Chains A and B, each alone.
Chain A
Amino acid sequence: MTDIASPTVRISARPESAKRDIGIKRRYAAERRFRAYGMAAISTGLFFLALLLWTVVSNGYTAFQQTTITLPIEFTEKVIDPKGERATDGKVLQTANYPLLVRDALVKQLGIDASKRPQVKQATDMVSASSRTLLRDMVVADPSIIGKTVPVTLLAEANIDSANKGQIDLRVEESKRKVKDQQVTWMNQLAEAGVLKKSFNTGIFTFGASSRPEAAGVGVAALGSFYMMLIVLVLSLPIGVAASIYLEEFAPKNRLTDLIEVNINNLAAVPSIVYGLLGLAVFINFAGMPRSAAVVGGFVLTLMTLPTIIIATRAALKAVPPSIRSAALGLGASKMQTIFHHVLPLAMPGILTGTIIGLAHALGETAPLLLIGMVAFVVDYPGSPMEPSTALPVQIYMWANEAERAFVERTSGAIIILLIFLVVMNLGAILLRRRFERRW
């Protein structure tokens, strides 16, 4: 009795102010600090996410606009076909001096004395050198155009484009920048005349690789990526689902299946560059497939995506409750029928979500593609997956290595396009999950 009573007595005997110090203040301060660390960590993460996206968007949104110069081009026969041989010699139209047409039109528009060579050169430098192919294709497609004057919209040269977008600091000394004062004056003059204007840049979606920023686009690379994604989808979805069904539903539990299980988990964590080495050694070196072809890229990315899909599919199959299986088996379905008619359809949303996420991952993968030779300068659209092609992330890598200011803009523009694809795919996956996910 006294044992219990005595401490109470002791405590109450103390004066109110001298309460035993259990460090509550200190502990609460520590608590607040700890919380603050957590908040700070999350904010840091989100800050970097915002910074990353802001870098890309602020550098890249201007890539979707392009300065163009619309000039009335006079397709004079004297320049294109001085000897009148185009009916007999097909090469005449291919090799004609088309830049001269542009020069004449520009000189006329600006009212420059055509005999002043340096001035004329400065003026023609304002128009992209890709005009040559543009005019050539126009004439080859329709030779009757010769002799007529047609207004043609030409791309402005990359530096003029940057100057027009206000990205070049014109206060810098003239000799230290790529746009000369005279060109700026002309640029403003053309802009006032409505000849030079900014418009939506369709080229970035349709063009192929080019050493000139204004004529470079991701069209060809996107087609290469599309081929690869198609191959990955067609191969990895059936193989992945089949493998998971076997492992989850049929495989006996023994050493071998255990090994396969560990193996698949490991494959999911193997660095992607190792898959590139595998593709190089097996598909290109051993099987003799063509380098730089989308088909090899597709195979490599398939092997890389398979573990992801298998893991997602097995999780989805596991989530289907056993009652469904028992009911089907009880009604006389065979095991195969149970799985293919009942379990698989119910697991499908989960499987598709995993597949889309795997595909999105494969779409952004660069390293293995570098090794199988997809770092190629591809100008033309590949007609089939067997032809040399490149991929969207590889195109970004190649542009990131270019020094010019205009390529930074293009790179960011291409990244925006890639990210939009990824966002769409991931949103699709999320919607799919929301729409079809069931909880038992």
Chain B
Amino acid sequence: MSTSLLLLLIVVIGFIAYFSGRSRSLALAGGKLSNLHSLPGYHGSYVAIWAMLPAALVLGTWLIAAPIYIDSSTRAALPDTVQSQGAASLQLALGQVKSVAGGLLRLSGEEVAALESGAANLRSTLAAKGVALAGEGEPYMIAAAQHFNTMTVTNRWLMSAVVLLIAVVGGIYAIRNVAARFRARNQVERVILGSLIVASSIAILTTVGIVTSMLSEAGRFFTMVSPFEFFFGTVWDPRFAAAGSGGASGQFGLIPLLAGTLYIAFVAMLFAVPIGLFAAIYMAEYASPRLRSTAKPLLEVLAGIPTIVYGFFALVTVGPFLRDISAQLNGLVTGNYQNFIQAQSVVTAGIVMGIMLIPFVSSLSDDIITQVPRALRDGSLGLGATRSETVKKVILPAALPGIVGALLLTASRAVGETMIVVLAAGVAARMQINPFEPMTTVTVKIVNQLTGDLEFTSPQTLVAFALGITLFVITLGLNIYALYIVRKYREQYE
């Protein structure tokens, strides 16, 4: 019985349970609904929960546990010669046994008999049925595969039987509980509350998942490359993972990537902060409601555009434009029409990222500026200060902590941005201070190291997780500090 059919059956049982619980409670009420403690629907739900929830839980655990058990049992059934060859080749043999097992199901009885007696070649027989084997196939594999197949089939039947039994027994148990004064609603609500708690723990689990997965993979990386070399190395040259060599020959220096990341983020902030801040001030202090109601959403459109679109914009418009204009400028000054800005460069990525960040700076700062109490503003204006003097001398100092928080949040976004830098910053990991040359970032290298074919044992791949945890820690630090500042600031005026 397939899993989806089983699930469907559980749902059907649940429906039956609901209606029988409902009708039983109605019958017990004797036509007067107020005799019941809970509404009939709650009695129905109570019975349905008892029918479905335990069965579904058992099904879930079974689906996870059974393959592990079957694998270990099949592994034990392999001959000792294979067992002694180490974990990697054992795993390989197990994989082959599984594909043989899948192939055997497609063969007729005579063909299987021919294989068992050794009359037919395993690989060619299976290949004729469209099952490709990785290796030549050993005779012991047929026995192991048959063992695997019988176990799978028994397991399926056993699982279906147990799960359906639990569903039915649960339903019957719950129906027997239904009584006029039975507090079905409270029971149902307890289950709902439990599921609410489970849902809210997913947020925690995500963080735990991020931290543990990255720490464990990065830990494997640090067993191959020392943390000192990684964090303080100034050369990034991972080489390619040569198959089977382990390939620990590359150099994994974080410093050039970090320098590129911070440099590009700095250029982006240099571009976005003045524009965003002035836009926010104008919008909060000067703009008429009409201008505000059109300009603000329009600017926020910039925040809604996917970053890949910005990357494309950098690639086809900004990059070539900067390259050509630098060539023209150079030509006018020196007579040599040679461009001094590369199409992929720190400024290209910085400017385009800056455009993306404008709405973040402006809407965050706008919120903070409008939170400054009216009284401060009125006091300053009443003393004869002009609007700009009020902004500069009163509002900005009052809003400063909040604005700093907003800028930190923006900076964390700039550090973690990926698609723009992938397309606009280049891939050359080097340390230099010329903003017109390409540099690369942590995120670009994560993407570079993890696209394409990978094996999860080489430092070339695992370094991505070390980079990831670095990025996570940097942005987390910025975010926590920013949120702390913003929160503290908000309390100041509440």
Partner of A38, one of B203, B282, B304, B386: B282
B472 pairs with A274, CB closer than 8 A: yes
State whether A273 and B471 are in contact (beta carbons under 8 Å apart), knowing that A263-B207, A415-B312 are contacts in the complex: yes
Query: Which residues of B (310-348) have their CB < 8 Å from a CB of A?
Result: 310-313, 315-317
Question: Which candidate, B82-90, B121-129, B210-218, B238-246, is the interface stretch facing chain A?
Answer: B210-218
Total A residues in contact with B, Cβ cutoff 8 Å:
86
Chain A positions 229-280 with a Cβ under 8 Å from a chain B Cβ: 238-240, 242-247, 250-251, 259-260, 262-267, 269-278, 280
How far apart are the CA atoms of A39 and B292 in the complex, in Å? 12
Q: How far is the CA of A418 from the CA of B386 in the complex (A)?
A: 46
Closest Cβ of chain B to A434, distance in Å, is: 13
In the assembled complex, B299 has its CB within 8 A of some CB on chain A: yes
Question: A246 near B200 (CB under 8 angstroms)?
Answer: yes
B359 contacts A55, C-beta separation under 8 Å: no
How far is it, in angstroms, between the C-alpha of A396 and the C-alpha of B445 when the chains are bound? 20
When the two chains form their complex, are residues B298 and A41 in contact, meaning their CB atoms are under 8 A apart? no
10 contacts between A and B (CB under 8 A): A30-B388, A35-B282, A59-B316, A260-B203, A263-B203, A271-B417, A366-B306, A393-B306, A397-B311, A418-B306
The interface residues of chain A lying within 8 Å CB-to-CB of B313 are 52, 55-56
CA distance A28 to B387 in the complex (A): 10
A367 in the interface, Cβ–Cβ < 8 Å? yes
Nearest CB of chain A from residue B65's CB, rounded to whole Å: 14
Closest to A27 in B: B386
A243 and B203 form a contact (CB under 8 A): yes
B153 CB to nearest chain A CB (Å) = 22
Determine if A426 and B193 form an interchain contact, defined as CB atoms under 8 angstroms apart. no
Interface residues of A in 421-436 (CB under 8 A from B): 422, 426
Looking at the complex, which one of A274, A336, A396 makes contact with B416 (CB distance below 8 Å)? Answer: A274
Is the C-beta of B389 less than 8 angstroms from some C-beta in chain A?
yes
Whole-angstrom CA separation of A353 from B89 in the bound complex: 53
A contact patch SS: helix
Q: A200 to nearest B CB, angstroms?
A: 24
Q: CB of B206 within 8 A of chain A?
A: yes
- CB neighbours (8 Å) of B192 from chain A are 336
A286-B443 Cα distance, complex, nearest whole Å:
23
Q: Which of B451-480 contact A (CB under 8 A)?
A: 451, 456, 464-465, 468, 471-472, 475-476, 479-480
Task: Determine if B279 is an interface residue (Cβ-Cβ < 8 Å).
Answer: yes
A69 within 8 A of B: no
- Determine if A129 is an interface residue (Cβ-Cβ < 8 Å): no
Chain B contact surface mostly: helix
B 274-300 binary contact with A (CB < 8 Å = 1; else 0): 111111011100100000000100110
Q: Which residues of B contact A306 (CB under 8 A)?
A: 202-203, 206
- Minimum C-beta distance from A326 to chain B (A): 19
User: Is the pair B295, A366 in contact by a Cβ cutoff of 8 Å?
Assistant: no
A371, B447: Cβ atoms under 8 Å?
yes
Additional A-B contact list (19), CB under 8 Å, known A49-B301, A397-B308 = A27-B389, A34-B388, A48-B358, A51-B317, A243-B196, A262-B480, A264-B203, A266-B476, A266-B479, A266-B483, A267-B203, A267-B206, A269-B475, A273-B418, A281-B216, A307-B203, A367-B422, A371-B450, A408-B316
The answer to whether B472 and A270 touch across the interface, beta carbons within 8 angstroms, is yes
Q: Mark B84-113, 1 if CB is under 8 A from A, else 0.
A: 000000000000000000000000000000
Whether a CB of chain A sits under 8 angstroms from the CB of B415 is yes
Q: Chain A interface (Cβ within 8 Å of chain B)?
A: 27-28, 30-31, 33-35, 37-42, 44-46, 48-49, 51-52, 55-56, 59, 238-240, 242-247, 250-251, 259-260, 262-267, 269-278, 280-282, 285-286, 303, 306-307, 310, 334, 336, 360-361, 363-367, 370-371, 373, 375, 393, 396-397, 400, 408, 411-412, 415, 418-419, 422, 426
Say whether B409 faces chain A, with CB atoms less than 8 Å apart: yes
* Distance between A19 CB and nearest chain B CB, rounded to angstroms: 15
State in angstroms the CA–CA spacing of A101 and B149 once bound together: 51
Cβ-Cβ contact count across A and B, 8 Å cutoff: 252
Q: Is B196 a contact partner of A250 (Cβ separation < 8 A)? A: yes
Q: For the complex, what is the distance from the CA of A398 to the CA of B417, rounded to whole Å? A: 18
User: B276 touching A277 by the CB < 8 A rule?
Assistant: no
CB–CB A271/B471 < 8 A: yes
Q: In chain A, what residue has the closest Cβ to B484?
A: A262
Residues of B within 8 A of A265 (CB): 479, 483
Contact assessment for B423 and A400 in the assembled complex, using a CB-CB cutoff below 8 Å: yes
Whether B309 lies near A418 (C-beta < 8 A) is yes
Asked if B307 CB lies within 8 Å of chain A CBs, one says yes
Is the beta-carbon distance between B274 and A41 smaller than 8 angstroms?
A: yes
Q: How far is the CA of A40 from the CA of B278 in the complex (A)?
A: 8
Say yes or no: B279 contacts A310, CB within 8 Å: no
A365, closest chain B residue (CB): B306
Chain B contacts for A42, CB-based, 8 A:
278-279, 282-283, 295, 299
Are B355 and A272 touching (Cβ within 8 A)?
no
Q: Which of B362, B418, B456 contacts A271 (CB 8 A)?
A: B418
A41/B312 in contact, CB under 8 A: no
> Which partner residue on chain A sits nearest B303 by CB separation?
A361
Q: Smallest CB-CB separation from A375: which chain B residue?
A: B451
Q: State in angstroms the CA–CA spacing of A31 and B317 once bound together.
A: 36
- How close is A408's CB to chain B, nearest CB, in angstroms? 6
Contacts of A35 in B (CB 8 A): 282, 286, 388
Type the 1/0 row for B37-54, where 1 means its CB is closer than 8 Å to any CB of A: 000000000000000000
**B275 A45 Cβ-Cβ under 8 A:** yes
* B200:A251 contact, CB within 8 angstroms: yes
Hey, which bits of chain B sit against chain A, CB under 8 A? 185, 189, 192-193, 195-197, 199-200, 202-204, 206-207, 209-210, 213-214, 216-217, 274-279, 281-283, 286, 295, 298-299, 301-302, 304-313, 315-317, 355, 358-359, 362, 386-389, 391-392, 409, 412-413, 415-419, 422-423, 443, 446-447, 450-451, 456, 464-465, 468, 471-472, 475-476, 479-480, 483
Alpha-carbon gap, A49 to B375, bound state (A)? 36
Bound Cα distance from A38 to B392, whole angstroms: 13
| Known contacts A286-B213, A360-B304: A38-B196 contact under CB 8 Å | no
> Nearest Cβ in chain A — how far from B467, in angstroms?
9
Measured between beta carbons, the chain A residues less than 8 angstroms from B196 are 242-243, 245-246, 250
What's the least CB distance linking B261 to chain A, in Å? 11
Which residues of B are found within 8 Å of A46, using beta-carbon distances?
Answer: 295, 298-299
List A contacts of B195 (CB < 8 A).
242
Q: Is the CB of A277 within 8 A of B464?
A: yes
> Least Cβ distance of B284 to chain A in Å?
10
The 6 closest A-B pairs by CB, nearest first: A271-B416, A38-B282, A364-B306, A41-B278, A242-B199, A281-B213
Contact of A367 with B443 in the complex, beta carbons under 8 Å: yes
* CB <8 Å contact, A366 and B214: no
The minimal Cβ–Cβ distance linking B369 to chain A, given in whole angstroms, is: 12
Give the chain B neighbours of A250 by CB distance below 8 A.
193, 196
For A415, list chain B residues within 8 Å (CB). 308-309, 312
Contact between A263 and B204 (Cβ–Cβ < 8 Å)?
A: yes
How far in angstroms is the closest Cβ of chain B from A250?
7
Contact of B418 among A41, A48, A367 (CB under 8 A): A367
Q: Measured between alpha carbons, how far is A329 from B295 in the docked complex, in Å?
A: 44
Q: Would B416 and A273 count as touching, CB distance under 8 A?
A: yes
Known: A310-B203, A336-B193. Contact between A400 and B311, CB under 8 A?
yes
Q: Which of A31, A245, A247, A278 interacts with B388 by CB under 8 Å?
A: A31
* Chain B residue nearest in CB terms to A371: B450
Distance in angstroms between the alpha carbons of A437 and B82 in the assembled complex = 68
Contacts of B417 in A (CB 8 A): 271
B120 to chain A, nearest CB (A): 25
Q: How far is A411 from B314 in the complex, measured between Cα atoms in Å?
A: 13
CB-CB < 8 A to A59: which residues of B?
A: 316
Q: If A49-B298, A267-B203, A269-B413 touch, does A364 touch B443 (CB 8 Å cutoff)?
A: no
Contacts of A278 in B (CB 8 A): 206, 209-210, 213-214
**Is there an interface contact between B465 and A364, defined as CB atoms closer than 8 Å?**
no
CB-defined contacts of B456 to chain A, threshold 8 Å: 285
Cβ contacts under 8 Å, A282 to chain B: 209, 213
Inter-chain CA distance A433–B362, complex, in Å, is 23
A274 x B468 contact (CB < 8 A): yes
